Structures are given as C-alpha cells and as structure tokens.
Amino acid sequence: KQEVTQIPAALSVPEGENLVLNCSFTDSAIYNLQWFRQDPGKGLTSLLLIQSSQREQTSGRLNASLDKSSGRSTLYIAASQPGDSATYLCAVARLGQNFVFGPGTRLSVLP
Amino acid sequence: EPEVTQTPSHQVTQMGQEVILRCVPISNHLYFYWYRQILGQKVEFLVSFYNNEISEKSEIFDDQFSVERPDGSNFTLKIRSTKLEDSAMYFCASSESYAGGYGYTFGSGTRLTVV
C-alpha cells in the first residue's frame, strides 16, 4: 500500500527566502506525481504535474523534481512571498489507480 | 481555464438525513472522482467513475454512499443517512485519463457539516 509523507509538517520563513518542501513515497512504481496548493478551507489548486518519465517541471518561481528510484520529490519555491502562504500537498498515482495524498506542509511566509 | 464546479459550497444537515453533493466536471474529461478531507487530516480517495460505472472505491465508500451521472454534465455523490463522522470537505475531481499524464483538476469543495 502506497504511503506518502511530507517533511516538514510546517514551515515559517521570512519573505524572500528560497525554500524546499519534501515528499517521500514508499512504492516507487508511480506513474505520475502532482503538487497542489490548498488555502485554508478551500479547494486544491494544481501547481505542477510530473510524469514518471520526467525529472522535473517548472512553473514561474516553482520547480518540482522527481527521483523515482529513491521515492522522493521536492518542491522548490524561489523568492517566497506572503501570498505563497498555504498548505502544499503532494500526491502520487500508479497507472490506472487513484492518487494517494501526503499530509501536506503548512507554509507561512512572513512579511 | 476550464473548472470543476461544486455545489453547494457549504451544507449543514441533521444526522440521519440524506444529502446530495453536486459536481460539474470539465466537459471533455472522462474520469470522475470523489475525495474527502476531514478537518486536519489527509485528503482521502472515495470513488472513481468511468463510463457510467464505478471503477474503484475505497473502504470508506460503503453502502451509505452512491454516485451517479444523471445527465451529460453532472456527477453526484449521495450519502443516504449521514453520520457525525461524515462531516468533512468533499472534493470532486475530473481527468482526461485515469491517473494519467494530465493529472487531476479539483473543484473548490463542499463543506458538509452533520449536526
């Protein structure tokens, strides 16, 4: 059974810092991995999708990498802003199976 | 950008009542899902739906739950007799392919409160 963990559980940084969020999964036979953002009491906004054949994806200040063999993904946020404050979730899926979510990292960026 | 729409955004119901949560997936998507998130906990898979039938369901999705695509646009989740522990945020999602290369698009959720 796939288990997804995320470290750290919470992170508080001053504005402008570069930061790294970590996601680990136990079954490396994944088909893709998706990073989401969740604002308090709100829905899930897709940030980046990495297919198993890819090593990384970039969107603006966000960069996500995937190392299937070690069961890890990182989300790198450059030059953090207060508007980046949210919970960041990673989710992984095997081909033909549903996504399994991690517990999230709660990020606070202080002005 | 295409969106998944969920209604209502918040529903309060009495224990034992039936509720129907509604979703309008993205029009060209073929796979539909319901997930839920109990406050402070992980997002959990409930059910996936394709070609008018359930593809996969979790152990959470017991006989109290059912899904339906009553027409070409709506996708519903029904809880027949709600319990206090059904209080959660329920998310609908859709995708072009099953856990495939395009990932999921989620709706903004329905917060269900059972009192």
Residues 6+ apart with CB under 8 A from B55: B31, B48, B49, B98
Give contacts of A45 with chain B, Cβ < 8 Å.
106
CB nearest to A49's CB, from B35, B98, B103: B103
User: What residue type is assigned to position A73 of the chain?
Assistant: S
What's the CA gap between B84 and B64, in Å, rounded? Answer: 13
B107 contact A CB<8A: yes
Q: What is the mean pLDDT of each run of 10 residues along chain B (115 residues)?
A: 91 97 93 94 94 92 94 92 97 80 86 97
List, for residues A55-111, the tens digit of each pLDDT value.
999 999 999 999 999 999 999 999 999 999 999 999 998 877 789 999 999 999 999
Distance from CA of A98 to the nearest CA of B (A): 6
Contacts with A78 (C-beta within 8 Å, 6 or more apart), sequence order: A18, A61, A62, A63
